């Protein structure tokens, strides 16, 4: 291998309470396409931010073209030749394509004014080289997302980049646009530009990348040629589990339910949404926990959000035999669905309100008569649920923000349970809560299912999924790639389903 253009040696980065990167090394050679993979929280984005000058490492060194570097801000990294393409296109939508391409380095006439004619001509030529034929005077937003991404790429490369970091560049692209992007990436690598490619889409990695570095929990767990690593091994490296470990008995508080041939309460048919969901169908039975499995970005959360109408999608959702025609969260609640979102801080808990207020928030309309809410009724309900869910709070009047993560989660659960839902969708219900509380929440989910509630469980913790779910629908790239039930519900089988070669190419 030739002299690496980028050489990261033993970099560590600590945030309050977390060691985000622990002695991570990475080398990238000119012309190499290097895959950087890992699940959420593995440290990918922290590493990227160190490379681009957003963060400074606490320990370790970054060598760029043989010299140690410490970029103070993104601009310095860019000026040195390390450009980044972000997941979301980071350009100015209202400005013209050409102006976006040349912003900050416009060609000027001898009077110091921008030479608009030359700028437009050169912009057109540059983009044509990447196969994009557009009127460069139009605002950027009139282009498709793929073309916008290509403008960002053209911009990144035009500033004499030696290293281009691409952070999930295809997450919002059409398949056709992805092909164009890949062609450009290969061309860049042919010109000796090193590319660090971050993606959750395994197919893309295998199509494009030479080597791979796998991060897990802030540590580098593997670096090597991608071709020598099969999909199953790559996934087990990312998830940190191997087949032998998987067969061992689980540690979670779940037990199996036998829903047998009970009539499904929820039927989802052909749920589709551009770029994200492709014809997803599954059923959920009362008294059973149905798991939605898949890697990050596989469409798990999107599926749940689409079912409750929080995300627009085509397809049929039938709840208790009635098809929901106009889908909205309000309609879903009326139909008996309740969803616990993934990010409980942003989407669920109201930190300034008390435990009682948080619990009865959603039930207000049913508890009130002529707009007046009976306090006695409230207290009775809150008391019941605090006992039943074993919520540990000094009193119902304690502020929710003072509770532990596990208890906050239970408060949210209580909020939805007082609506007497028939279907509960839980998106990562145990993320960010400690081990003890985790088992309690898991046991609770179990109890609820045993009481006849239908539960949909989303979790990136394979163990939790396997132990908790009676049936698992496996998603990949927004499509159902497998369904496991009974004895087939094993971590091994999930990984096999995730690792399958896609059947289309």
Partner 1 sequence: MTQTLVNKTPQPVPVEREQRYERLAALAQRHGALAVLALVVVVSSAVFPSFPTAENANGVAIQSSFLAIVALGMTFVIITGGIDLSVGSVFALGGVLAAYASQWGPLPALLLPLAVCGAIGLLQGVLIAYTGMAPFIVTLAGLLGARGLLLAITEEGANTYLVPKDSAFLELGQGTLFGVGYPVYLAVLLFALGGVLLQRTRYGQAVFAVGGSPDAAALMGLPVARIRVLTYLLSGLLAGFAGVLNASRLSSGVTILGVGLELDAIAAVVIGGTLLIGGAGTVSGTLCGVLLLGVIQNVINQIGSLNSSYQSVVSGGFLIVVVVVQTGLSRRRHLR
Q: Tell me the closest approach of the beta carbon of residue 176 to partner 1, in angstroms.
A: 5
**Element at 54 (helix H, strand E):** none
Under rule CB under 8 A, residue 502 binds partner 1: yes
Phi, psi of 331 (to 5 degrees): -65, -40
Tell which positions 425-444 bind partner 1, by CB under 8 A: none
**Element at 359 (helix H, strand E):** helix 355-360
Under rule CB under 8 A, residue 110 binds partner 1: no
Please identify which residue in 10, 31, 60, 74 interacts with partner 1, judged by CB under 8 A: 74
Please, which residue, 85 or 412, has the CB nearer to partner 1?
85
Under rule CB under 8 A, residue 3 binds partner 1: no
Q: Tell me the closest approach of the beta carbon of residue 385 to partner 1, in angstroms.
A: 38
**Around Cβ 227, how many Cβ atoms within 10 Å?**
11
Under rule CB under 8 A, residue 351 binds partner 1: no
The single-letter DSSP state of residue 88 is S
Under rule CB under 8 A, residue 320 binds partner 1: no
| Strand pairing category for 368-369 and 454-458 | unpaired
Please, which residue, 178 or 308, has the CB nearer to partner 1?
178
Under rule CB under 8 A, residue 116 binds partner 1: yes
Under rule CB under 8 A, residue 90 binds partner 1: yes
Tell which positions 121-180 bind partner 1, by CB under 8 A: 135, 138-139, 141-142, 144, 155, 174-176
Q: Using only C-alpha atoms, what is the Rg of the chain? A: 25
DSSP secondary structure letters along 406-455: HHHHHHHHHHHHTT--SEEEEESTTTTS-HHHHHHHHHHHHHHHHTT-EE
Please, which residue, 284 or 426, has the CB nearer to partner 1?
284
Beta strands in 109-198 (DSSP E): 163-167, 194-198
Under rule CB under 8 A, residue 79 binds partner 1: yes
Judge contact between 203 and 187, C-beta under 8 A.
no
Which part of the chain contacts partner 1 (CB under 8 A), choosing from 43-51, 271-279, 399-407, 448-456? 271-279
Phi, psi of 415 (to 5 degrees): -55, -45
Q: Tell me the closest approach of the beta carbon of residue 478 to partner 1, in angstroms.
A: 7
Alpha carbons 276 and 84: distance in angstroms, whole number = 24
Three-class secondary structure of residue 195 per DSSP: strand
Alpha carbons 77 and 84: distance in angstroms, whole number = 9
Under rule CB under 8 A, residue 489 binds partner 1: no
List the alpha helices (DSSP H) in 191-261.
Answer: 202-208, 231-239, 243-247
Please identify which residue in 59, 75, 117, 435 interacts with partner 1, judged by CB under 8 A: 75
Three-class secondary structure of residue 398 per DSSP: coil
Alpha carbons 488 and 471: distance in angstroms, whole number = 9
Please identify which residue in 29, 69, 95, 296 interacts with partner 1, judged by CB under 8 A: 95
Please identify which residue in 162, 219, 278, 422 interacts with partner 1, judged by CB under 8 A: 278
Under rule CB under 8 A, residue 69 binds partner 1: no
Terminal Cα distance for the chain, rounded? 31
Which part of the chain contacts partner 1 (CB under 8 A), choosing from 24-32, 85-93, 314-322, 440-448? 85-93
Judge contact between 164 and 85, C-beta under 8 A.
yes
Judge contact between 138 and 162, C-beta under 8 A.
no
Under rule CB under 8 A, residue 68 binds partner 1: no
**Around Cβ 392, how many Cβ atoms within 10 Å?**
14
Please, which residue, 359 or 481, has the CB nearer to partner 1?
481
Q: Tell me the closest approach of the beta carbon of residue 50 to partner 1, in angstroms.
A: 16
Q: Tell me the closest approach of the beta carbon of residue 171 to partner 1, in angstroms.
A: 15
Q: How far is CA 439 from the centre of its chain?
A: 24
**Around Cβ 176, how many Cβ atoms within 10 Å?**
10
Please identify which residue in 12, 69, 86, 361 interacts with partner 1, judged by CB under 8 A: 86
Which part of the chain contacts partner 1 (CB under 8 A), choosing from 340-348, 383-391, 424-432, 480-488? 480-488
Under rule CB under 8 A, residue 196 binds partner 1: no
Q: Tell me the closest approach of the beta carbon of residue 471 to partner 1, in angstroms.
A: 12
Closest CA to 116 of 127, 128, 126, 107: 107
Under rule CB under 8 A, residue 376 binds partner 1: no
Under rule CB under 8 A, residue 300 binds partner 1: no
Under rule CB under 8 A, residue 364 binds partner 1: no
Alpha carbons 311 and 347: distance in angstroms, whole number = 14
Q: Tell me the closest approach of the beta carbon of residue 387 to partner 1, in angstroms.
A: 42
Under rule CB under 8 A, residue 504 binds partner 1: yes
Give the distance between the most distant pair of CA atoms in the chain: 81
Q: Tell me the closest approach of the beta carbon of residue 23 to partner 1, in angstroms.
A: 29
Q: Tell me the closest approach of the beta carbon of residue 75 to partner 1, in angstroms.
A: 4
Q: Which residues bind partner 1 (CB under 8 A)?
A: 74-75, 78-79, 84, 86, 90-95, 99, 103-104, 106, 108, 112-114, 116, 135, 138-139, 141-142, 144, 155, 174-176, 272, 274, 278-279, 476-484, 488, 493, 497, 500, 502-504
């Amino acid at each position: 291998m030739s002299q690496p253009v980028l050489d990261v040696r033993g970099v560590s980065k600590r945030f309050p309470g977390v060691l985000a990167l622990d002695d991570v090394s990475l080398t990238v050679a000119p012309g190499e396409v290097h895959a950087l993979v890992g699940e959420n929280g593995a440290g990918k984005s922290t590493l990227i931010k160190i490379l681009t000058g957003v963060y400074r490492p606490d320990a370790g060194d970054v060598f760029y073209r043989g010299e140690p570097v410490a970029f103070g801000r993104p601009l310095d990294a860019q000026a040195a030749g390390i450009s980044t393409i972000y997941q979301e296109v980071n350009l100015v939508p209202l400005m013209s394509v050409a102006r976006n391409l040349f912003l900050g380095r416009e060609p000027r006439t001898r009077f110091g004014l921008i030479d608009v004619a030359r700028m437009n001509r050169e912009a057109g030529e540059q983009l044509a080289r990447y196969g994009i034929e557009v009127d460069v005077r139009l605002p950027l937003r009139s282009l498709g997302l793929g073309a916008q991404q290509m403008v960002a790429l053209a911009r990144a490369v035009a500033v004499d980049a030696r290293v281009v970091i691409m952070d999930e560049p295809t997450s919002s692209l059409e398949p056709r646009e992805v092909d164009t992007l890949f062609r450009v990436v290969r061309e860049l690598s042919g010109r000796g530009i090193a590319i660090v490619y971050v993606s959750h889409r395994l197919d893309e990695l295998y199509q494009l990348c030479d080597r791979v570095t796998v991060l897990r929990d802030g540590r580098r767990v593997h670096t090597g040629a991608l071709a020598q690593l099969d999909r199953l091994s790559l996934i087990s490296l990312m998830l940190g589990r191997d087949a032998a470990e998987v067969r061992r008995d689980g540690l979670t508080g779940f037990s199996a339910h036998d829903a047998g041939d009970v009539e499904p309460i929820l039927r989802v048919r052909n749920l589709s949404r551009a770029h994200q969901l492709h014809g997803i169908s599954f059923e959920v039975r009362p008294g059973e926990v149905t798991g939605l499995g898949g890697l990050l970005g596989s469409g798990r959360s999107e599926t749940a959000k689409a079912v409750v109408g929080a995300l627009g999608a085509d397809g049929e959702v039938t709840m208790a035999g009635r098809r929901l025609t106009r889908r909205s969260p309000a309609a879903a609640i009326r139909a008996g669905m309740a969803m616990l979102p993934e990010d409980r801080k942003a989407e669920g808990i109201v930190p300034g309100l008390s435990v009682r207020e948080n619990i009865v928030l959603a039930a207000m309309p049913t508890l009130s008569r002529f707009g007046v809410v009976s306090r006695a009724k409230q207290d009775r309900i809150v008391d019941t649920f605090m006992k039943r869910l074993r919520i540990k709070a000094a009193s119902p009047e304690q502020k929710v923000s003072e509770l532990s993560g596990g208890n906050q989660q239970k408060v949210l659960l209580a909020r939805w349970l007082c609506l007497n839902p028939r279907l509960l969708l839980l998106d990562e219900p145990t993320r960010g809560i400690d081990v003890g509380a985790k088992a309690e929440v898991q046991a609770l989910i179990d109890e609820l299912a045993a009481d006849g509630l239908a539960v949909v469980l989303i979790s990136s913790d394979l163990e939790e999924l396997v132990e908790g779910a009676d049936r698992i629908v496996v998603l990949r790239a927004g499509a159902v790639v497998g369904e496991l039930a009974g004895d087939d519900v094993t971590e091994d089988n999930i990984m096999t389903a995730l690792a399958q070669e896609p059947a289309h190419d």
